C-alpha cells in the first residue's frame, strides 16, 4: 500500500516520531501539573522574615503606648526631631522623606515607626549606630537632670504663683488699656513684671500679709502709685506730652484727651481720700485701668521719641521696661541702648528691672493670656473706660455655679 511505502521513508518517519513523542511528553507534563495543583503540591512552604519579632515589638511598643497614654506622643515629639536631625547627617534623602511625612501627618507614631524601620536597615552601619547610641545616652543623661522648676530662677518663688493669679484678674484692664493706647498687652505686662518682682524681697512680709491672700497686685508706696509704680511727677509728664505737639513724645490728636479728668468720676477704692485726683485713679485697689493706661502711653511716647530720632526700638520690650523704670530723663536715643534699671535681689540673687522684664517677655509665661503680637504698636481704639464690664466679669468668675 502506498501509505506504508511513504512512511517507510526516513525523511517522513523520523519527523513523525519526533512529533508524536513530543506531544506525548507534553501531555504527560500537563497531567502531572494538574495532579500537583489538585493536591496543592506546588505551594511554597514559606518562612518568617528574620526581623518578624522586631516588627511585632515595634507595633506593640507604639500602638499600645499611644492607646493607653494620650500624652505619650507629646513626650516623643522631641525624640522624633532629634532622630531626624541625626539621620540627616548620614542619609539626608531618608531624613527628608520622614520629615515631610511627619509635617503632613503630625503623627509621632508614624514618624517613630519610620525611624525604627530605617534603623533596622542600618544595623551594619557602625558609624550611624554609634551616633544613635550617643544620642540616646545624652537623652538619658538629660532625663536624670530634668527639673520641674523654671529655668528662670526668680519665677520659682511662691510670690510668682500669686502674681500670676493676680494678672489673670487684671487681664480685662490690661487688654483695655492696650487697645486704647495701641500697645501690645505683653509689652505692658513686661514693665509691670519688673515693678512687681522687685517688691518680692523688699516688701516680702507685707506681701505675705496682704497681697498673697487677696491674690492682687501691690499698688505702690508713698512715692509711686499703682501696680506699675508710677510717680505723680511722671504721670503729669505723660499727660502734658499728650497735648504738646512740639514734643518728641507727641502721639497725635487722637491721643490728646485720653487722660482728661472727669470731675464727676468717683474713686471709691482709692488708697486714701486726701490724695489728688490723679493719684486716686492710679492707686486704686481693684480698678487698675488707669495705671496700665499711663504705662502704655509712656511706652508709646518713648517709642515715638526713638523712632523720630532714627533709632526704632519697637522689638525691644526690655528697653521700654528699663526706660519706664528710669524715667524720661534717661531716654536718650542711640544706636545700642542698654538694658538695666533698678537692681534688686530675689532669693539672694541680683537682677535688674529690664533684665527681669526681658526674661518674662520671652519666657512664654502667660502667653495664653497675653500672646505675642506681630505688630507691637497699632492705632488706638478709642472706647469708654471698661471698668464696669471688667468688674462684672471678675465678680461672675467668683460666683459659684448655678444649680441646674
Dist CA 205 CA 296 (whole Å): 30
- pLDDT (tens digit, 9 = 90+) per residue, 146-171? 566 788 889 998 889 888 988 999 99
How many Cα atoms sit within 13 Å of 151 on the Cβ side? 8
Is the separation of the CB atoms in 282 and 166 below 8 Å? no
**Three-state SS letters, 114-173:** HHHHHHHHCCCCHHHHHHHHHHHHHHHHHHHCCCCCCCCHHHHCHHHHHHHHHHHHHHHH
Provide the pLDDT for residue 47: 59
- pLDDT (tens digit, 9 = 90+) per residue, 60-106? 666 555 554 555 566 677 889 999 999 999 999 999 999 999 888 88
Is the separation of the CB atoms in 340 and 352 below 8 Å? yes
Instruction: Kindly state the average pLDDT of the residues 167-189.
Output: 95
Dist CA 112 CA 365 (whole Å): 30
| Boundaries of domain holding 6 | 2-38
Instruction: Kindly state the average pLDDT of the residues 388-403.
Output: 46
Q: Is pLDDT of 137 > 60?
A: yes
- pLDDT (tens digit, 9 = 90+) per residue, 232-277? 999 999 999 999 999 999 999 999 999 998 766 766 655 556 678 8
- Do 110 and 192 belong to one domain? no
Q: Is the pTM of this model over 0.75?
A: no
- Do 171 and 294 belong to one domain? yes
Give ∠ CA 189-193-194 in degrees, rounded to 5: 125
Query: Does any domain span residue 292?
Result: yes
- Do 121 and 172 belong to one domain? no
Dist CA 277 CA 270 (whole Å): 10
- Do 320 and 201 belong to one domain? yes
Q: Is pLDDT of 109 > 70?
A: yes
Query: Does any domain span residue 397?
Result: no
Is the separation of the CB atoms in 393 and 176 below 8 Å? no
Query: Does any domain span residue 401?
Result: no
- Do 302 and 217 belong to one domain? yes
| Overall domain count for the chain | 3
- Do 329 and 308 belong to one domain? yes
Provide the pLDDT for residue 72: 59
Residue ranges of alpha helices (H) inside 2-51 are 2-7, 10-38
- Do 140 and 157 belong to one domain? no
- pLDDT (tens digit, 9 = 90+) per residue, 312-349? 999 999 999 999 999 999 999 999 999 999 999 988 88
Q: Is pLDDT of 213 > 50?
A: no
Q: Report how far apart, in Å, the C-alpha atoms of 95 and of each of 32, 83, 100 are.
A: 52, 9, 9
Amino acid at each position: 500500500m502506498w501509505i506504508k511505502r511513504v512512511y517507510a521513508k526516513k525523511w517522513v518517519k523520523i519527523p513523525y516520531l519526533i512529533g508524536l513523542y513530543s506531544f506525548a511528553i507534553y501531555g504527560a507534563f500537563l497531567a502531572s501539573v494538574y495532579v500537583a495543583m489538585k493536591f496543592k503540591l506546588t505551594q511554597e512552604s514559606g518562612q518568617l522574615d528574620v526581623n518578624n519579632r522586631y516588627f511585632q515589638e515595634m507595633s506593640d511598643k507604639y500602638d499600645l503606648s499611644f492607646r493607653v497614654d494620650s500624652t505619650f506622643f507629646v513626650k516623643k515629639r522631641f525624640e522624633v526631631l532629634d532622630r531626624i536631625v541625626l539621620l540627616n547627617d548620614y542619609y539626608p534623602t531618608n531624613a527628608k522623606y520622614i520629615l515631610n511625612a511627619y509635617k503632613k501627618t503630625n503623627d509621632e507614631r508614624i514618624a517613630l515607626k519610620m525611624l525604627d524601620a530605617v534603623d533596622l536597615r542600618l544595623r551594619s552601619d557602625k558609624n550611624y549606630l554609634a551616633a544613635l547610641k550617643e544620642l540616646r545616652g545624652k537623652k538619658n543623661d538629660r532625663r536624670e537632670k530634668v527639673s520641674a522648676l523654671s529655668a528662670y530662677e526668680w519665677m520659682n518663688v511662691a510670690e510668682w504663683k500669686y502674681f500670676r493669679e493676680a494678672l489673670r484678674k487684671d487681664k480685662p484692664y490690661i487688654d483695655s488699656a492696650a487697645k486704647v493706647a495701641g500697645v501690645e498687652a505683653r509689652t505692658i505686662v513686661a514693665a509691670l513684671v519688673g515693678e512687681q518682682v522687685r517688691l518680692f524681697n523688699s516688701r516680702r512680709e507685707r506681701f505675705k500679709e496682704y497681697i498673697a491672700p487677696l491674690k492682687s497686685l501691690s499698688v505702690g508706696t508713698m512715692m509711686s502709685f499703682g501696680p506699675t509704680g508710677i510717680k505723680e511727677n511722671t504721670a503729669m509728664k505723660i499727660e502734658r506730652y499728650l497735648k504738646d505737639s512740639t514734643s518728641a513724645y507727641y502721639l497725635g490728636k487722637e491721643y490728646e484727651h485720653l487722660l482728661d479728668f472727669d470731675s464727676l468720676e468717683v474713686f471709691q477704692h482709692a488708697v486714701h481720700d486726701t490724695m489728688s485726683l490723679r493719684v486716686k485713679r492710679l492707686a486704686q485697689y481693684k480698678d487698675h485701668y488707669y495705671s496700665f493706661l499711663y504705662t502704655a502711653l509712656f511706652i508709646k511716647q518713648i517709642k515715638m521719641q526713638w523712632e523720630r530720632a532714627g533709632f526704632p526700638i519697637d522689638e525691644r520690650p526690655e528697653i521700654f521696661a528699663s526706660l519706664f523704670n528710669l524715667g524720661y530723663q534717661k531716654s536718650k536715643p542711640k544706636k545700642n541702648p542698654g538694658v538695666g534699671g533698678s537692681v534688686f535681689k530675689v532669693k539672694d540673687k541680683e537682677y535688674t528691672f529690664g533684665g527681669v522684664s526681658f526674661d518674662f517677655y520671652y519666657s512664654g509665661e502667660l502667653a495664653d493670656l497675653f500672646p505675642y503680637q506681630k505688630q507691637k504698636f497699632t492705632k488706638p481704639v478709642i472706647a469708654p473706660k471698661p471698668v464696669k464690664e471688667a468688674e462684672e466679669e471678675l465678680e461672675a468668675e467668683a460666683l459659684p455655679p448655678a444649680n441646674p
